[in-house]
Structure 1
Amino acid sequence: MQKRTFSWMLILIAAAMLLAACQPTAAVNESGAAPASQPSAAAEEKEVIRFGDQQWDTLWINNAIAGYIIEHGYGYPVETIELTTPVALQSIETGDIDVIMELWRANIMEWYNRVTTEGVVVDLGNSFDVSTQGWYVPRYVIEGDAERGIEPLAPDLKTVYDLANYTEVFQDREDPSKGVFVNAITGWQVAEVNRAKFKAYGLLDLYNFQEPGSSGALDAAIAGAYKKGEPVLAYYWEPTWLMGTYDMVLLEEPAYNDECWAEISQYVEGTISLDEVTETSGCAFETTGIHKGVNAGLIERAPEVTDFLEAMEIPTPLLNELAAYLASDDAIDADDTAVYFLQNHADLWMEWVPEETAAAVQAALE
């Protein structure tokens, strides 16, 4: 029994020596000591960077372009999470998502002022330089369309005040005594901004509100009416594929001013009721650049990524073109549109990143 045990011990010792001989010799430093072990692959893994997707086309494009560069240029995995706007705002505040590429600040005034003042969310500047939003109607409603056999239904419609004369043109089928306004998506703060404006313009008792539950439903309401040659009055914004595809007219409003927007803010924030809104609240949206924001924690976790995001800005005319490309038969989806942009506008995006990052992105594209 002892002899058998001794034999097995010799076999085990020999096996251990053989395994040791097969291992590469550890390097030594100048003192003769072995260096500290290198971090494992698991330790070097980078955390996922999460983008909020509130479901509109230019945001899809901006997310896809930023995500491609971050993933292939900086080596971070990227995830895009579909959220309603209220949930997205809450999520970037708590750090459940890291990036919102389009902060339409005028529509989220109370939240934006609070989180940026507290430093929870950091504004990284423009995603694009010019935005327009307001109330639109198809041009054929005003001018007609001879090719489609459409007669003008509201030839004198120029301003929002003129809408008082055209409730029958934009008649609510469920309540024929009033017109219907296709408002912003349910949950968007701008839907309440529009209510304040209707009160200020004396239109609140003349129109009902239809609030779609998603950007797809909003687009369908406008595009569906347009294709049929029917009148439609709706809130919308630019740049978008829809505005690039259909001939729409933005109704005139009094110019933006701070006093007006201060009263609108009071209503949106709940300081005053809709009954207390006055004519002061009647003014256009401010035409500004649309900014991007990140959770403050991302700056500490991935400063090279936030440097890139801060530099990233696509001119509005180009973003309009990309939105039209996304809506065309040439594009499969926003990811495909991002590749199209990166392949055709290297002179622009290479300015946003260091040379080695640009080289890595180029290699991925090839």
Structure 2
Amino acid sequence: MMRRALAVTALTSTLALAAAAAAQDSPDPIKLTLHDWTGQLITTTIMGEVLKEAGNNVEYVQADYLAQFAGLKTGDLDVAMEIWETTGREAMDEATATGQVENLGETGMQAIEEWWYPSYMTDKCPGLPAWEALLEDECAEAFSTPETAPDGRYLGGPVTWGGFDEERIEALDLPFQVIHAGTDAALFAELESAYQRKAPILLWIYAPHWAPIKYEGEWIEFPPYEPACYTDPSWGVNPDMTHDCGKPRGPIWKVAWSGVKDKWPGAYAAIQNFTLSNDEMGEMIAKVDLEGGTVDAVVAEWMDANKDRWSGWIGK
């Protein structure tokens, strides 16, 4: 009987060890995508450094914001830490519907991405922030530049960000032209220059970010977004075209290749646990963009100050 008991105990222990080994994360690198704006670099680097603390092998891969879903579907890319409700929801929903990509929940940050103007432009364009004010010739001229006159100039984000600005201009018959900034840094450098000179500017501003905190201004109030606005031409003020509304607002999401939960179960749980606030992110972006800090230095400072918090994400 003793031998049988010992044999059963040994077998139970062996099975337990095998189950534990099966649940361990793969030694293969988890590929986290990097994009072209400071906040996303910070979010992704925090997650990557936390996963390293858990013993994971991490690889950062530069990828296009929307085109990355092709790689996430195949497992060539593993995790994307910022999919904005404002611009990425359609691509995310298409990818998750295939079953090859999984939504891992909200990051805790709430997204706004919309047309924004500095308050000093109000006198030159009466009626703001209502979008109808942009229809007036005097308003378009107030925001015009030699390259767009007599149309107004709207400074959009990099083309890879999406956002349907051209479609909106056409649907609402706005006398404006979209000029895309080449980079996130160029977008805000132009805002800084214009603001100091009190020069006309209408541009894409997003939150969480330091810009709407540092500068006094307003977002344009377009017709409120509803999903039908992007799919049903009969919805909205233009019965013949879609996109005659503002951009959606809402959470910033985390997504992953559907194989992550089986290949890296510990990392999978940690990514689900990850959360940051808008205020935290705005402060960190400001340290990089305004104070000259590096992403790595700002992330290291956050890690030092929040050890108990991120340790909970990885169950330590």
TM-score of Structure 1 vs Structure 2, range by shorter chain: 0.7 to 0.9
Q: Residues 73-115 of structure 1, C-alpha deviation per residue, up to 9 Å, x if partnerless?
A: 2222322222222442322222222111001244234432221
Residue of structure 2 in register with 1:340 after alignment: 301
Count of paired positions = 288
Q: Residue 350 of structure 1 aligns to a residue in which SS? A: helix
Q: Pairwise mapping of residues 1-366 of structure 1 onto structure 2 (< 5 A)? A: 46-71=27-52, 73-142=53-122, 152-165=123-136, 166-190=139-163, 193-203=164-174, 206-263=175-232, 278=240, 281-329=243-291, 332-355=293-316
Q: After TM superposition, what 4+ stretches of structure 1 lie above 4 angstroms from structure 2?
A: none
SS at the partner of 2:133?
helix
Q: C-alpha separation between the residues in 1 aligned to 2:202 and 2:187? A: 12
Q: Distance in 2 between matches of 1:182 and 1:333?
A: 26
**1:307 alignment partner AA:** A
The CA deviation string for residues 300-330 of structure 1, in whole angstroms up to 9 with x for no partner, is: 211100100001011222222222223343x
Q: Percent identity, aligned pairs only?
A: 22
In terms of fraction of residues, the more helix-rich structure is 1
Contact 1:134–1:250 (CA under 8 A) maintained in structure 2: yes
2:21 aligned residue: none
Task: Quickly say closer, same or farther: Cα 1:277–1:325, change in 2 above 3 A.
Answer: farther
- Highest Rg: 1 or 2? 1
* Offset of residue 280 of structure 1: 6.3
1:146 counterpart residue number? none
C-alpha displacement of 1:347? 4.8
User: Alpha carbon RMSD of aligned pairs, Å?
Assistant: 2.5
Q: Alpha carbons of 1:176 and 1:283: their partners in 2 closer, same or farther (altered >3 Å)?
A: closer
- 1:170-225 deviation line (CA, Å, top 9, x unaligned): 113123221111123213321xx22232233221xx11110223222322332332
TM-score, with structure 1 as normaliser: 0.72
Distance 1:49 1:87 in 2: 19
* Secondary structure at 1:256 match in 2: coil
Instruction: Give 1:351 deviation, angstroms.
Output: 3.3
With 118-127 and 283-292 compared, the bigger mean Cα shift is at 283-292
Shift of 1:228: 2.6
5+ residue gaps, structure 2: 1-9, 11-24
The equivalent of 1:15 in structure 2 is none
Secondary structure class of the residue paired with 2:31: strand
* Structure 1: gaps of 5 or more residues: 1-28, 30-43, 143-151, 267-275, 356-366
